[in-house]
């Protein structure tokens, strides 16, 4: 992508793909800078707005990310990709009520296994254990037990940061199985 940029500088396609590579490498600030350059030429590109929002989430700038995601939701209603981004970002930002609102929209359609898992997290943090367990079971049946456990365990630090006590996890596993 750097070679491509030399041949045709500031090309949006190159900027966006370079930014994706930088995100994968964990260079989120540099990725954001590239996406903001691309935005100058394509401010109405909704996919670009989602990418910028994702970078802002990586940088833990949740309020700014939510602004981007809500813009996409406003301009393109009934767009599950925006709902998914809003739901997860709102969860990370501690806005569990907003997170649940958007996960419920996703759950009414064709939810993915990750939608069910993440919605379960939102309900778990919100204290609705029964609903969380139901969603975790649905996710587990869609993913399979091993993948579900791996995905759930990746999110345990996030759940702990949201107030879930370590001793609650074994109890939750008993309820899921």
CB atoms within 10 A of CB 1: 17
- C-alpha to C-alpha distance for 148 and 72, rounded to whole angstroms: 30
Residue 75 CB partners (closer than 8 Å, separation 6+): 44, 46
CB atoms within 10 A of CB 153: 10
Give the per-residue pLDDT at 21.
86
Contact yes or no for 50/69 (Cβ under 8 A): yes
- C-alpha to C-alpha distance for 149 and 129, rounded to whole angstroms: 18
Give the per-residue pLDDT at 9.
54
Give the per-residue pLDDT at 76.
96
DSSP run (H or E) holding 14: helix 12-24
**Average pLDDT per 10 consecutive residues for the chain, totaling 177 residues:** 48 80 90 90 90 96 98 96 98 98 97 98 97 98 97 97 95 92
| Tokens, residue 129 | 């254990």
| Tokens, residue 99 | 């997170």
For tokens 């898992």, name the residue: 117
Give CA angle at 113 (112, 115), nearest 5°: 65
């Amino acid at each position: 992508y750097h070679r491509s940029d030399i041949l045709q500088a500031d090309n949006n396609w190159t900027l966006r793909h370079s930014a994706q590579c930088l995100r994968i490498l964990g260079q989120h600030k540099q990725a954001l800078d590239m996406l903001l350059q691309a935005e100058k030429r394509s401010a109405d590109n909704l996919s670009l707005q989602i990418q910028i929002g994702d970078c802002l989430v990586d940088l833990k700038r949740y309020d700014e990310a939510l602004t981007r995601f809500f813009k996409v939701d406003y301009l393109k209603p009934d767009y599950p990709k925006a709902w998914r981004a809003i739901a997860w970002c709102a969860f990370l930002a501690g806005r569990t009520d907003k997170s649940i609102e958007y996960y419920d929209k996703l759950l009414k359609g064709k939810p993915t296994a990750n939608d069910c898992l993440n919605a379960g997290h939102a309900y778990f943090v919100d204290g609705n254990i029964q609903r969380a367990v139901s969603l975790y079971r649905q996710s587990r049946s869609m993913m399979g037990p091993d993948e579900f456990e791996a995905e759930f365990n990746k999110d345990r630090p996030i759940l702990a940061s949201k107030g879930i006590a370590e001793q609650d996890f074994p109890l939750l596993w008993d309820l899921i199985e």
